[in-house]
Amino acid sequence: MSTGQAAPGPEPSRDELVAAGDALRRRIEELEQEKRDLEVMLETSTEHADHLAADLEQERNDLATMLAMTTEHADTVEDELHENAAAALLKSARQLRMIVEATPAPVLISRLADAEIVYANTMTGTLLRAPAQELLGRRVPELYFDPVDRVPLLKALEDQGFVDHQEVRFKRLDGALVWVDVSLRLLDFNDEPSILSALHDITERKEAEQRLQQQVDELRLELEETSQSSALARSTGTTRFHNLDAAVIEHGSTRLIAFHSFRGGNGKSSIAANAAGLLAAQGQRVGVIDADLQSPGMHVLLGQAGKKIDHTLNDFLLGNCGLHQLAIDVTAGLGQPVPGQLFLVPASVNPGAMAQVLSQGYEAQRLTQSFHELANLLQLDVLLIDTHPGLNEEALLTMRAAQTLIVVLRPDAQDFEGTGVTVQVARQLEVPHLLLVVNQLPATGQLQAVRARVEQTFGSEVAAILPQAAEFMTFDNDGLFALRHAGHPISVALQHLCTRLTGATAPVQPSWIPGSPA
């Protein structure tokens, strides 16, 4: 044996070799069993995988089918929703057009972006004197007499979302000026932001206001040219008065109240007579002078129709009787007992007497001084004077003498124009207190709106508003209406007026007109 080689170990014994062979055989058997198990597992896994793959494939197919069905249904639903929305929009637009066409006022709709008119009803065409179809495609600024007037309206619409009752100048397609009251609202029309414009033609009213202002200016110039301390020297061809200063009297403790109107037939005398009765019902001593020498009627209202009257105001003005012979105690004819007393100075209904005083004339001082003397003679608390309508000499004298002037008017354009002139004259004559009474307001009228408009127009307080009532205007010779029907809206309004005249705190007038606030 060479140096450096390891010596061989002892040879294994036979038993050790047999044991090692058995162990190797068992290991081979175990490996074969594991192989068989793995083959079975592999076969089982493959079969399960095939089933799983098949199931997954089926699920994928089912999901694909469901997705296709859902997509198809969604498309159907979306199409149906679009169709329904389009139908609703079409129906809404159709209904809007029907409503607007039926509206008895001009209405137009314009796009917000470019102000192009996309709709105009028939009334708009009537207002602008052109077929409504001709307005389509035009721009709204073209309708303004001055397009600059539209700028503040758009600013207000942007700031507050609406515009109500703004007076602006429009022009018709022929270029003629037309005044309109315009209100604006934002809306979507045909899926576009738009502006709805509601218009109201106020041209007639604006022209009336301009005529009124012209008359007032002319009258103011005429009055300024005539000093109140010198002769007014007015002449109608029948009656002449020498000096308005003769109407300045010493009032004393008697309240002197004149009832006047620019036109006849508006209930002025009826209001004055009923106010006199209500004041007597308050316990006051009241006198009434019928200074309407051209169309007297106070004697009828105060129960003296058909009765013999010995002396009238006409006789006194002509110097045919004394003042102490004029007054008639009419308290018993009021229809109801009252704690106060009512006296009447009637005017003559005899045509000859009426013509005589008108043709001969009379001194202003004689008429106005009679106010003071009669108040002292009868110890009156209140003296009411019923004037002749219009701006005649009697009316000017009475205005100059009165402490309070009550102007009666109806809510119509003619009365508004005439009342404006009357109010301006009264202010030129420096009447201390001026009150307005609106009579014959239709039941559809808005009480507070009418009151606000009248007070704003004339700059004077509205002391009472009387509703339109046929029973008040019908004469039945059974006494004064306000005393016999104390709860009637007219009576309540007249009671409010009398409370105002006596200087007490005025109560709130009831809202007897539908739609007016309580």
Amino acid 371 reads: F
Backbone angles phi, psi at 412, to 5 degrees: -135, 165
For the chain, 518 residues long, give each residue's pLDDT as a single digit of tens. Answer: 445 555 666 777 777 777 887 888 888 888 888 777 777 777 776 666 667 677 777 877 777 777 777 666 666 656 666 666 566 555 555 655 566 566 678 889 999 999 999 988 888 888 998 898 899 999 999 999 999 999 999 999 999 999 998 999 999 988 999 999 999 999 888 888 999 999 989 888 888 777 767 766 665 565 555 434 333 333 333 333 344 444 444 455 889 999 999 888 888 999 999 999 999 999 999 999 998 888 898 988 898 888 888 899 988 888 888 888 999 999 988 888 999 999 999 998 888 777 777 777 676 667 777 888 898 999 999 999 998 888 877 778 888 888 999 999 998 887 888 888 888 888 888 889 999 999 988 877 678 888 888 999 899 999 999 988 877 876 566 789 899 888 898 999 999 999 888 874 333 343 333 333 33
Long-range contacts of 149-156 (CB under 8 A, 24+ apart): 153/182, 153/184
* Inter-residue contact 496 to 510 (CB < 8 Å): no
Pairing, β 107-111 against β 192-201? antiparallel
Tell me which residue has tokens 């005529």: 211
Which domains are delineated in the chain?
102-201 (3.30.450.20), 208-501 (3.40.50.300)
* Inter-residue contact 110 to 124 (CB < 8 Å): no
Query: pLDDT digits over 401-423, tens only?
Result: 889 999 999 988 878 888 888 88
Q: Report the largest interatomic distance among the alpha carbons of the chain, rounded to a whole angstrom.
A: 194
Q: Which helix (H) or strand (E) holds 213?
A: helix 203-225
